[in-house]
């Protein structure tokens, strides 16, 4: 088993935190397991007139293999609240952070 496969297996078995939300794209809703939901993730803008400005936004961390269907058109129902996608950030540790905004 390669190191990448070991990380994927560890992430797949990680059920001590996280949960399940509903992911909707193109009118289809499916449950999506996530590793972590943080309502106040700090981000720094790097483009345009907002460069250097900081703010906090909700963020969802998911296993990258489970994030394949997520796009900027995705909507998430997390604990009855609907979120849209601001940015999708794939990390080298086989996780993907989805930065969200409330709809």
Q: How far apart are the C-alpha atoms of 97 and 89, rounded to whole Å?
A: 5
Helix (H), strand (E), coil (C) string for the chain: CCHHHHHHHHHHCCCCCCEEEEEEECCEEEEEEECEEEEEEEEECCCHHHCCCEEEEEEEEEEHHHCCCCCCCCEEEECCEEEEEEEEEECCCCEEEEEEEEC
For CA atoms 14, 64, 91, 4, give the dihedral sign.
positive
pLDDT tens column, 43-92: 776 666 566 677 889 999 998 988 999 999 999 999 999 999 999 999 98
Q: Are strands 95-102 and 81-90 parallel, antiparallel or unpaired?
A: antiparallel
Do 82 and 24 form a contact (C-beta atoms < 8 A)?
no
pTM of the model: 0.79
pLDDT tens column, 25-38: 999 999 999 988 99
């Amino acid at each position: 088993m390669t190191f990448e496969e070991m990380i994927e297996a560890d992430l797949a078995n990680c059920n001590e935190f996280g949960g399940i939300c509903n992911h909707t794209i193109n009118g289809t809703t499916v449950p999506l397991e996530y590793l972590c939901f943080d309502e106040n993730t700090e981000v720094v803008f790097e483009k345009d007139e907002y460069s250097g400005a900081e703010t906090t936004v909700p963020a969802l961390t998911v296993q990258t293999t489970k994030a394949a269907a997520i796009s900027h058109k995705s909507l998430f129902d997390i604990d009855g609240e609907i979120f849209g996608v601001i940015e999708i950030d794939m990390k080298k540790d086989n996780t993907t952070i989805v930065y969200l905004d409330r709809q």
